[in-house]
Amino acid sequence: MEDEKDLVEKILSGYHVIAVVGCSREEGKPSHDVPAYMQSKGYKIIPVNPFADVILGEKVYKKLTDIKEPVDVVDVFRPGPEATAITNDAVAIHAKAVWLQEGIFNEEAKALAEKNGMLFIMDRCMMKEHRRL
């Protein structure tokens, strides 16, 4: 298995379509500012939020499985216990990776992702990792 730094680099350099589960309309929240930063760096952001229609100028999907275009990475801004169901949805849409943001942990989701051949990162901020690279 690749070490986590290699996985982070592989995801951030090779994957450019990011579905953000729990994407927020509110500036100042990490769930808004991280996807906004990634968008500013050329990544395509697909917001997933059942309570919004447009975030960051993009059409919002109520759930991951509503997205019809290919998704590379599912970036998760939801509590750890929700990550297993989100990972199940990521498997269903054939995403290549699942990324749990800083402070979010779920070993069951990790096992599920890896069993399905997906890359998996947890407890790391995508924006901080991008800046580090």
| Burial (Cβ within 10 Å: 0-12, 13-18, ≥19) of residue 15 | middle
- Distance (Å, whole) CA 114 – CA 18: 19
Q: Running DSSP on this structure, what letter comes out for residue 69?
A: S
- Supply the pLDDT for residue 2: 66
- Position 3 scores a pLDDT of 85
For residue 132, what are its two tokens?
Answer: 């580090």
Q: Please state whether beta strands 17-21 and 97-100 pair in parallel, antiparallel, or not at all (unpaired).
A: unpaired
Q: What are 130's two structure tokens?
A: 């991008």
> Residues 4, 121: contact at Cβ < 8 Å?
yes
SS3 119: strand
Contact 38, 18 (CB under 8 A): yes
Q: What is the DSSP letter of 53?
A: S
Q: With contact defined as beta carbons under 8 Å apart, do 64 and 74 qualify?
A: yes
Q: Total domain count for the chain?
A: 1
Q: What pLDDT sits at residue 28?
A: 97
Strand duo 17-21 + 44-48: pairing: parallel
Domain at 31, CATH number: 3.40.50.720
Give the range of the structural domain holding residue 101, as residue numbers without chain letter: 4-132
| Residue listed under structure tokens 């350099």 | 13
Q: Mean pLDDT of successive 10-residue segments in the chain (133 residues)?
A: 85 98 97 98 98 98 98 98 98 98 98 97 97 94
